[in-house]
Amino acid sequence: MAQNENQITAQDKLNALNARTMTLYTAEKTTMTAFRGVMQAATRKGELSPALKELMAVAIAVAKGCEDCILFHVSEALKHGATRQQLVESLAVSIEMAGGPGTVYAAKALSLFDALQNGEQG
């Protein structure tokens, strides 16, 4: 039986996103391996922390309106120790750059952060 959209948790959505990505990886290993390398290189520790880099990715995803990108990078930001307040400040920049549509996706990003952090529905 299919779950109601309101019963699907943020973690369920993340798991489904990861499964879809793995299907693509299996179908096109060369490109996806190269892309993973780019992701790892871009988020490596340097002058900017991996958490800050993931928050930048969330901000860009919000401005671009990519819900799955928001989910993935919110999850990665959490893994790297980003705080809710850091996310909120990053979202303010997204709103500045994306205007009204940015507010819609910024709200989604904050909701997903809270859900993933607390293990709640999102």
Q: Is the pLDDT of residue 65 over 70?
A: yes
Looking at residue 3, its pLDDT comes to 52
> For 15-53, what is each residue's pLDDT tens digit?
999 999 999 999 999 999 999 999 999 999 999 999 999
Degrees, nearest 5: CA angle 63-67-71: 105
Mean pLDDT for 114-119 is 93
Domain coordinates in residue numbering, the chain: 9-118
Predicted TM-score (pTM) of this structure: 0.86
DSSP string, 24-68: HHHH-HHHHHHHHHHHHHHTSSSSS-HHHHHHHHHHHHHHHT-HH
Check if CATH label 3.40.50.150 holds for domain 9-118.
no
Supply the angle between the helices 29-42 and 10-27 in degrees, to the nearest 10. Answer: 130
Burial zone of 17 (CB within 10 Å; 0-12 exposed, 13-18 middle, 19+ buried) = middle
